[in-house]
Structures are given as structure tokens and as C-alpha cells.
Copies of this chain bind each other. A is one copy, B any other.
């Protein structure tokens, strides 16, 4: 039995006392005395249809008067696709380098008409996090760090993501990879130290949480650099405060080290100061090298040698994302995007 639908007129909206309801395109249409379709045509500058200039004006005027703002969710629901690029907030404290990279990328994607959304995942893990991201139906997802597995990628793709990128140490099946393997940083540092005749190499490993995804590969890079040589690698846990640095410096003599790769410039500055205070000569007794090439390292005496890091330009990356979105069938690409080069100053 067929249903019979009777048109029941809506109660006229003659109650301006209504508590400031949000204006919709229907309200604009009513005020302008046109249909919702016409409103949509005008406000989206649809060139497929010709709307008379007076009508256009009336619609625009009505929209302005009501303070109409289109509803992004409704729009993308109807369209069946969004231009949202999702970037989960990184689980590690973002340094100045990474922050700048991020905002550059955001800007560049914005230029390509994507809406970049940083999503604070607040503790969700693994596939659960992926599901939370998928609910937003992003057209692309850029995941920093290493919290996404092949399962997660599959979840995202099944929910419509046309490209998934990981920014981290390793590639994940099904996703494009922007490999930023910090292993190379440790490797460069150790090669430098070894090349300058150092054989007892200490490696600072920050005690702080969340830095493991950087410190572990950096340490591994050091190990790889000296594998098969007569050099030794000693792991040096260190908290980011003066007391702990003094503790390490106090037993320095007993460690038998003549060089240290201090994770980054900040830890390097901390440790170098402690070593100097404890009577260790830098670089005479011990060479010290950091990473990240912070301005401040140049101010120390001796000036701090460091590993300069180079992240890809936001513009290039945005273009890459755009390409991947437009060709979702393509095979996942791998790009090695972390440049690292030793800047030799005075501390080594």
C-alpha cells in the first residue's frame, strides 16, 4: 500500500522572539523571496545557471542581513566528500622545528583549498584513535609519530580517506610514508665523532616521556655507525635538569668516554655545562655534539657542534598530499624527507 503524503504547511515563523535560532539557507530564501535552490546558486556562484542580477542582489542582501553562514557539515554530507585534511596532534612535545614545519604545511594546504584540522586525540590508542579520526571523514590523514598500524590505515581508507600519510620512522602498509627516521641523526653524529678519533662514545637518552620515538632511533644510528669498529657506545639516561646533569658529570671519569652525542642541543648544553663545572675539558677530554642546530648553541664556549636537521618544505608536502588525494589508486609512496648534516663548531 502506497503512502500518501500530504503537504502540511510549517507553522509560519512569525515569532521573532525565538531564541536566536541559527539562520539557514531556507531563512535566506524566505527573506529574499526566492527558493532555496536559488540561494544556493547565488551564494556558490554557480556558473551553470543564470540568475538575474537583481535576484542575486536580493539574495546576498538577505544573507548579509541574517548573518547567514553555510553549514559545513551539511554541505559535505550532501556532497559526499570533504576537503578536510586531518592531522592528529603529535604525542610528543613539538619543538620549534616541528612547529614551524607544521604551520607551513597548514598554510600550504590551505592554499590548495584544504581545511586542515588538528585533532587532539586525548588518549585514544591505536585502532580506537583511527576510528575516532575516521568519524570525521577526512579526505586525507597525516599521522605524525608511530601510532598507526596497517589496521588503522585500513579503517581510515574504508571510511573514505583517499590518502593516508605517516610522518615517522617507518612505513606502514597501505599508507604513504614520509620517512623521518631519526636514526640518521645519530649516525651522522657518531660518524663525525669517530672521524675525529673518538672511540668511547656516550649517547644521552632523555629520561622524559614521549621522546623515545626520537631518542631510540638516534641511539640506534650511533650503534650502526660504529658497528664493527673498535668504538664503544654507552647509553646515558639523563633528565632535563641540573641536578641530574651534575650526577652524570660527577661519575664521568669512571665511564671512560671521550665523546658524547647528547640527543639534542638542549641536553647538550645542559650536559656540557655540568661537565665543565666538574672540571672536564670540552673538547679536550670529551667532545660534545648536539642536534637541531639551535641558535643558542653558538653562544656557548666552546661553540656547540651539532647536527642540523632539514625538514621538507610545507609547500612540497602539500603538493604531495594533493597528488595522492587526486590519485587514490596509486601505490603508496615512500619519501625520505629528513635531512641531517653535521655542523662542526668548537665542541668536537
State the number of copies, please.
2
The residue from B4, B93, B103, B270 contacting A89, defined by CB atoms under 8 A apart: B103
Give the distance to chain B from A67, nearest Cβ to Cβ, in Å. Answer: 4
Give the complex CA separation of A118 and B241 in angstroms: 32
Which one of A28-36, A47-55, A134-142 contacts B?
A: A134-142
Which one of A68-76, A190-198, A199-207, A278-286 contacts B?
A: A68-76
Query: Is A323 engaged at the interface, CB distance under 8 Å to the other chain?
Result: no
* Chain B residues within an 8 Å CB radius of A103: 89, 93, 120
> Is B106 a contact of A89 with CB atoms below 8 Å?
yes
> Is B240 a contact of A158 with CB atoms below 8 Å?
no
Give the distance to chain B from A4, nearest Cβ to Cβ, in Å. Answer: 6
Interface size of A as a range? 35 or more
* Chain B residues within an 8 Å CB radius of A158: 20, 22-23, 67, 69
Give the complex CA separation of A55 and B266 in angstroms: 58
> Is A119 a contact of B117 with CB atoms below 8 Å?
yes
Give the complex CA separation of A335 and B225 in angstroms: 54
Nearest residue (CB) in B for A271 is: B299
Query: Is A6 engaged at the interface, CB distance under 8 Å to the other chain?
Result: yes
Given A73-B77, A117-B119, the answer on whether A270 and B299 have CB atoms closer than 8 Å is: yes
Give the complex CA separation of A95 and B96 in angstroms: 7
> Is A67 a contact of B159 with CB atoms below 8 Å?
yes
> Is B295 a contact of A73 with CB atoms below 8 Å?
no
> Is A69 a contact of B270 with CB atoms below 8 Å?
no
Give the distance to chain B from A347, nearest Cβ to Cβ, in Å. Answer: 14
Give the distance to chain B from A220, nearest Cβ to Cβ, in Å. Answer: 26
Give the complex CA separation of A164 and B224 in angstroms: 53
Which one of A10-18, A107-115, A175-183 contacts B?
A: A107-115
Give the complex CA separation of A93 and B94 in angstroms: 12
The residue from B2, B77, B110, B121 contacting A4, defined by CB atoms under 8 A apart: B2
